[in-house]
Amino acid sequence: MAATTAPLTARTQVRSFALGLPGAVEEFPWEDDAVIKVNKKIFVFLGAEGNAETPGISVKLKDEEVHGHALAVPGAAPTGYGLGRSGWVSVPLTGESAPVELLCDWVEESYRTIAPKKLIAQLDAG
């Protein structure tokens, strides 16, 4: 019997993309909840692996048009704990979520907001 593999989840694809950015590292500051950092600063909150109840990501989007587009996704909202005031948006990964390519675009924008210029230059050169 041949082994079957489940399709990659949106979270898995976003995580893989984020970890492929220059200088990106994954950490678990709150038990199972993963974050991806660059230069010791978070640029994406991934939550816990296998969270079937409320899967989602949070990214920092400074561009007003992009920020508004992200907030238009059903279920999206400014991130709690006061982060929403700084441009953070939480986007669910269920139902009518944005396509993975768009989620990755938002992760890259969040990275560009947080990352040092030398790493952004490295990303642009790659």
pLDDT of residue 125: 94
What is d(CA 62, CA 83) in angstroms, rounded to the nearest whole number? 12
pTM as predicted: 0.88
Is the separation of the CB atoms in 14 and 20 below 8 Å? no
Q: What is the pLDDT of residues 79-116, one digit of tens each?
A: 998 899 999 999 998 867 789 999 999 999 999 999 99
Residue 27 CA to residue 102 CA, distance in Å, equals: 23
Residue range 13-22, pLDDT digits in tens: 999 999 999 9
For the chain, give the percent of residues with pLDDT over 70.
91
